[in-house]
């Protein structure tokens, strides 16, 4: 068992100078509230300890296993990104961008050069709902670049056995939504169609698809606990219970999603919300898209790394076998993050810094000035591209050190 000093050292909290800083009043007030928040978190951990036997009885009903020692197979890691703050608010509208790309690993191309490619979309709209749609556009771009990978495989330019996604395999904006609401939305329809094209092509080519969900706060274990909440989320529970080199399988979405939809519906009903047809709509979605229901959800803990369990979603079209897939992921682990290293690489490759949007804004202004001059208009019309809140402009300017 780790000592208190070992725990503090592991989290980098033994630096004597850490607290020797003068804080602004607002920061000081935040620090004063940390004890209250720590008490709440401690309460959850203690509840976990009290419910340990019940939690273990739930997990004992699931499929457990030990990770093997598999050599990584040729593959590709795919990711997409968008501005964390949603983009830049301008007088004439909202400026944003999405980037999607892939990085090959394990000799996927057979050549010396590491295969990498990306696509970029710049978005400009005066729609109030633009921010909520940006993540969906990013997912669509992600599916586009994945189709490029599969096209290159068909041409013999790439030979991936597996494709890793940084994030969920089937976007949750589709999964827990009634079919009728997807059909009504143009962007959700595009995302659904793009996702299905990827799944169909991967099935045809026998490529195993794996979603590595880094930020997972799911509570799917409630499905096995009569809908009752457990003290902690799935990842936290698995991180505490799984031993390094082991895994547990929760099951397929075809079983998990309808039951979880019933839990969601019951909670919303208690809140006075209209849930008529919600559960039936989610079930209809899985009937229309049975491939979504084939996704297997599992957690594994690598033999090395920071000790966190990793949530994955798998469509094993390559018939590799679940244990082999999880063993390969474990073999790919970056000890610094506990995640498969290709996921870390592709995350860096597609990273979108805020200052990049400022460069785009300035380039657009330059083009506008030239175009409007040809039409006899003066430069002041480019005010539409100025920041609505100049005080926040520094957020989009590259830092100089």
Whether 7 is covered by a domain: the verdict is no
Whether residue 321 is found in the same domain as residue 370: no
Whether 50 is covered by a domain: the verdict is yes
Whether residue 135 is found in the same domain as residue 214: yes
Whether 254 is covered by a domain: the verdict is yes
Inter-residue contact 243 to 229 (CB < 8 Å): no
pLDDT per residue as tens digits for the range 129-162: 777 788 899 999 999 999 999 999 999 999 999 9
Inter-residue contact 233 to 44 (CB < 8 Å): no
The rounded Cα 191 to chain-centroid distance in angstroms is 15
Whether residue 336 is found in the same domain as residue 367: no
pLDDT band at 355 (very low <50, low <70, confident <90, very high): low
What stretches of 202-295 adopt beta strand conformation (E)? 208-213, 246-252
Whether residue 39 is found in the same domain as residue 103: no
pLDDT surpasses 50 at 208: yes
pLDDT per residue as tens digits for the range 324-346: 999 999 999 999 999 999 999 99
Q: How large is the average pLDDT for residues 237-243?
A: 91
Provide the token pair at 108: 């996927």
pLDDT band at 61 (very low <50, low <70, confident <90, very high): confident
Average confidence score pLDDT of the chain: 83
Q: What is the Cα–Cα distance from 262 to 227, expressed in whole angstroms?
A: 9
Instruction: Give the pLDDT of residue 401.
Output: 41
pLDDT per residue as tens digits for the range 116-128: 888 888 877 776 6
> Residue 251: which CATH number?
3.30.2170
pLDDT band at 366 (very low <50, low <70, confident <90, very high): confident
The rounded Cα 143 to chain-centroid distance in angstroms is 14
Whether 19 is covered by a domain: the verdict is no
pLDDT band at 42 (very low <50, low <70, confident <90, very high): confident
Inter-residue contact 173 to 191 (CB < 8 Å): yes
Instruction: Give the pLDDT of residue 240.
Output: 87
The DSSP bridge pattern shows strands 162-166 and 75-81 to be parallel
pLDDT band at 95 (very low <50, low <70, confident <90, very high): confident
pLDDT band at 395 (very low <50, low <70, confident <90, very high): very low
The DSSP bridge pattern shows strands 208-213 and 75-81 to be unpaired
Whether residue 204 is found in the same domain as residue 94: yes
Whether 66 is covered by a domain: the verdict is no
For the stretch 233-272, what's the b/e string if a residue is b when 16 or more beta carbons lie within 10 angstroms of its beta carbon?
bbbbbbbebbeebbbbbbbebbebbbebbbbbbeeeeeee
Whether residue 129 is found in the same domain as residue 257: yes
Inter-residue contact 183 to 288 (CB < 8 Å): no
Tell which residue, 234, 229, 278, has the closest CA to residue 258: 278
pLDDT band at 28 (very low <50, low <70, confident <90, very high): confident
Whether residue 172 is found in the same domain as residue 314: yes
Whether 15 is covered by a domain: the verdict is no
Q: How large is the average pLDDT for residues 206-224?
A: 91
Whether residue 129 is found in the same domain as residue 276: yes
Instruction: Give the pLDDT of residue 270.
Output: 84
The better pLDDT of the pair 216, 91 is held by 216
Whether 359 is covered by a domain: the verdict is yes
pLDDT surpasses 70 at 353: no
Q: What is the Cα–Cα distance from 296 to 158, expressed in whole angstroms?
A: 26
Instruction: Give the pLDDT of residue 382.
Output: 65
Whether 401 is covered by a domain: the verdict is no
Instruction: Give the pLDDT of residue 394.
Output: 45
Whether residue 325 is found in the same domain as residue 199: yes
The better pLDDT of the pair 27, 261 is held by 261
Whether residue 89 is found in the same domain as residue 52: no
The better pLDDT of the pair 360, 297 is held by 297
| Number of domain units in the chain | 3
Phi, psi for 207 (deg, rounded to 5): -105, 125
Whether residue 84 is found in the same domain as residue 145: yes
Instruction: Give the pLDDT of residue 293.
Output: 96
pLDDT surpasses 80 at 31: no
Q: Cβ atoms within 10 A of the Cβ of 110, count? A: 11
Q: How large is the average pLDDT for residues 268-294?
A: 92
Name the residue range of residue 115's domain.
75-349
| 3-state DSSP assignment of residue 231 | coil
Q: Which residues contact 234 (CB under 8 A, 6 or more apart)?
A: 216, 218, 219, 220, 221, 250, 299, 311
Handedness of CA 292, 178, 81, 306 (dihedral sign): negative
Whether residue 199 is found in the same domain as residue 312: yes
């Amino acid at each position: 068992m780790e000592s208190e000093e070992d725990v503090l050292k592991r989290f980098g909290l033994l630096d004597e100078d850490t607290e020797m800083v003068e804080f602004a009043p607002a920061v000081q007030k935040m620090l004063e509230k940390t004890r209250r928040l720590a008490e709440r978190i401690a309460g959850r951990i203690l509840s976990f300890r009290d419910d340990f036997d019940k939690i273990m009885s739930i997990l004992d009903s699931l499929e457990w296993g030990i990770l093997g020692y598999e050599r990584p197979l040729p593959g590709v890691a795919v990711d997409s990104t968008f501005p964390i703050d949603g983009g830049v608010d301008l007088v004439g509208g909202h400026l944003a961008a999405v980037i999607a790309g892939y990085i090959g690993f394990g000799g996927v191309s057979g050549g010396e050069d590491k295969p990498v490619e990306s696509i970029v979309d710049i978005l400009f709209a005066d729609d109030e709902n633009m921010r909520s749609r940006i993540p969906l556009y990013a997912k669509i771009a992600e599916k586009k670049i994945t189709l490029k990978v599969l096209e290159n495989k068909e041409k013999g330019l790439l030979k991936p056995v597996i494709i890793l996604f940084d994030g969920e395999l089937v976007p949750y904006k589709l999964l827990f939504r009634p079919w009728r609401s997807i059909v009504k939305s143009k962007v959700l329809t595009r995302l659904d169609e793009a996702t299905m094209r990827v799944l169909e092509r991967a099935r045809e080519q026998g490529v195993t698809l794996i979603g590595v969900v880094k930020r997972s706060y799911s509570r799917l274990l409630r499905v096995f606990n009569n809908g009752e909440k457990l003290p902690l989320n799935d990842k936290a529970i698995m991180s505490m219970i799984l031993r390094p080199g082991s895994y547990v399988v929760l099951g397929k979405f075809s079983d998990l999603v309808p039951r979880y939809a019933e839990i969601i519906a019951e909670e919303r009903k208690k809140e006075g919300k209209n849930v008529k047809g919600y559960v039936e709509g989610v079930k209809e979605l899985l009937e229309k898209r049975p491939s979504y229901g084939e996704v297997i959800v599992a957690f594994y803990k690598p033999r090395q790394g920071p000790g966190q369990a990793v949530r994955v979603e798998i469509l094993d079209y390559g018939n590799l076998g679940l244990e082999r897939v999880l063993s390969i992921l474990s073999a790919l682990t970056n000890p610094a993050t506990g995640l498969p290293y290709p996921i870390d690489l592709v995350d860096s490759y597609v990273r979108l810094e805020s200052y990049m949007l400022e460069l785009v804004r300035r380039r657009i202004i330059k083009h506008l000035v030239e175009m409007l001059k040809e039409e006899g208009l003066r430069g002041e019309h480019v005010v539409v591209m100025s920041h609505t809140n100049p005080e926040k402009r520094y957020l989009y300017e590259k830092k100089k050190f």
